[in-house]
Amino acid sequence: MAKFTTFCWALLLAVSCLINVEAIDKVTRSGRYLYTSSGRFYIKGVAYQEQGAVIPGADNSFLEPSTFIDPLSDSDGCSRDLPFLQKLGVNTIRVYSVNSSLNHDSCMSTFSGAGIYTIIDLALPLNGSIDRDSPSWSTNLLDQYLETIHTFNKYDNVLAYNVGNEAIISNTTDVAPFLKAAARDIKAYLNSISSSALVGYAAIDGDSTFRVPVANFLSCDPSNSNSSSTSIDLYGLNNYEWCGDSSFEAAYAGVEGDYAGYNVAAYFSEFGCITSPPRLWTEVGSLFSSQMSDVWSGGIAFSYFPAESAQGQFGMVNISSDGKTVTTGDDFSRLEAQYGNVTSPPNTPSQGSSPASYPSCPGQNSSFAASTTLPPTPNEAACDCIESTFGCVFKPPTSNYSSIVGSLIDTACGLLGQAGSSCDDIGGNGTTGVYGRLSGCDPTIKLSFTMNEWYQINGMQPESCSFAGNGSVDPLGASGTASAFAAETSCVASPSATFTPTLPSGLATASSGSGSSGSSDSGSNGAVPVLGEGQVLLGMMSVALIGVASGIWTLT
């Protein structure tokens, strides 16, 4: 009898468990706010990524990591951390870099089951991000972004994908059109696979004269027709202005005013100043109150894992060297108390009462240089077609070629410049809105183009294609002939075209996730925050400063 009872209870529990398993509620954006079925949604989050290797140097003034550890592929780590994330009371984690070829099933279902959403940055360190010093929106980056989305589309708890983090700083606002093009193409792709994930960008703090137009630019409609097609859905501001026991008036009144009329959802993609210890996290009370809720939908505390910065040490826990034990610090307990106190943030306005609007774009001036003419959608077929006409091509001496491509392009462009030619075809200028016909191509194709130009200028002498062993004559390429030029031209029927991108061919037939409804689809790093310009100390996972092209050449 006892046995039977136990069995019944076990069965009943199992059944009730099954019945009680509910899918995580979908978060949608309506105008400038986020909603679930139960009302307004606030991101109560924490950054969740162990810091990668930071190699300091003149080319890495923000101390951005050059390697990363994908936290969502570490199933033991996720199970280890789940109880702590739950104790902290978070509903979202932000992850800066993931490896699309690894398996994320365990972590994603662990977090989904606990009601925890993810905000996933699509950029990777080094050549995996839009380089603020030499920007391009090109096939290799598009493919990387699509591969990550393809990998994560099967999960129900991806809240947003970020197309960049801190790529635009005060003197690189000309990078903004490349980010906006990325948002446009990623949004089109998400629509094509019926994904409801939001498209985000995480901005560096700093002077409002560039910060505010950048925000408005990323959510504006260049065609002046109230179209959402090039707008981000979710603007993140990495904000460290509340230090110690500050106040809304002292720390946040400025940003509240700056974004008072903003048209899409906004949140603090990082917060948690460390300059006036102890961190009390009293900003939480302000951020989740009616003082801020008209503009902001919560934020991401930085950071769960330790992260070293020039400013000092971020982090709320330590992990034992065997990876098994979590030790929480006082920051953890204080944030837990503050998050625990956020019981009913304002639930207004109601969904639907705040319609979306996409205003015209901010104009250019001395503090904001972005053109409203965006780069075209990177076109792999056109790039491959042009490449097939080259008589001299880059033949990487090693599969680890990313570190030499930039310097070789600089060398080749320098030679072309001296010979009266130029690299205009591979360049793009976000201030003038002029993009070369190969500007959206993979850097290796850009390099092959420059090598081939030099080879042609030198009458196709084989030694002119050497580039110290990095170039190789391609007897199948026919460049230099009139027919080759015609072929090149015919490769790009409409150089400024935008279209819905599709997965790279290798993945097109791979099984796509259950969350992906489309069939045609086919389907940054360690962490350390940049604190805002003027007080920039270091970058968590912003864009790589080591670009594929170091940019010593300029367009003529």
* Contact footprint for ligand NAG (CB under 6 A): 61, 99, 101-102, 124, 127-128, 140-141, 144, 171-172, 209, 212-213, 226, 285, 306, 315-318, 327, 329, 337-338, 341, 355-357, 362, 365-368, 397, 400-404, 407-408, 429, 431-432, 468-470, 554-555
**Spatial distance between the Cα atoms of 132 and 545, rounded to a whole number of angstroms:** 7
Min dist. Cβ of residue 555 to ligand NAG (A):
5
Min dist. Cβ of residue 523 to ligand NAG (A):
18
Take residue 57 and report the two structure tokens written for it.
């140097």
Tell me the β-bridge partners of 199: 161
Q: Name the helix (H) or strand (E) containing 446.
A: helix 443-457
SS3 352: coil
**Spatial distance between the Cα atoms of 40 and 300, rounded to a whole number of angstroms:** 17
Nearest to 62 by CA among 464, 400, 532: 532
Give the C-alpha distances (Å, rounded to integers) separating 87 from 260, 270, 275. 33, 20, 26
**Spatial distance between the Cα atoms of 388 and 393, rounded to a whole number of angstroms:** 9
Take residue 12 and report the two structure tokens written for it.
């009943």
387 in catalytic set: no
Min dist. Cβ of residue 21 to ligand NAG (A):
31
- Report the residue number whose CB is nearest to ligand NAG: 329
Give the C-alpha distances (Å, rounded to integers) separating 254 from 217, 231, 247, 257, 272. 20, 24, 12, 5, 17
- By beta-carbon proximity to ligand NAG, the closer residue of 24 and 527 is 527
In this structure, which long-range contacts are made by residues 36-42, counting pairs with CB atoms below 8 Å and at least 24 apart in sequence? 39/347, 39/350, 39/351, 40/293, 40/297, 40/345, 40/346, 40/347, 40/348, 40/351, 41/297, 42/288, 42/293, 42/297, 42/298, 42/342, 42/345
Min dist. Cβ of residue 491 to ligand NAG (A):
21
| Helix, strand counts (H, E) of the chain | 14, 19
166 in catalytic set: yes
CA dihedral of 187, 193, 194, 198, whole degrees rounded to 10 = -30
SS3 86: helix
- By beta-carbon proximity to ligand NAG, the closer residue of 66 and 388 is 66
- Residue pair 47/304 in contact (Cβ under 8 Å)? The answer is yes
- Residue pair 232/199 in contact (Cβ under 8 Å)? The answer is yes
Min dist. Cβ of residue 217 to ligand NAG (A):
8
Cα 39 off chain centre by: 27
Take residue 412 and report the two structure tokens written for it.
């080749």
Min dist. Cβ of residue 5 to ligand NAG (A):
44
- By beta-carbon proximity to ligand NAG, the closer residue of 355 and 420 is 355
Min dist. Cβ of residue 298 to ligand NAG (A):
16
Query: 50, 64, 241, 270: which one is catalytic?
Result: 270
Min dist. Cβ of residue 340 to ligand NAG (A):
8
**Spatial distance between the Cα atoms of 442 and 405, rounded to a whole number of angstroms:** 11
Query: 166, 336, 387, 488: which one is catalytic?
Result: 166
- Residue pair 314/263 in contact (Cβ under 8 Å)? The answer is no
Name the DSSP class of 92: E
Q: Write out the catalytic residue numbers.
A: 166, 270
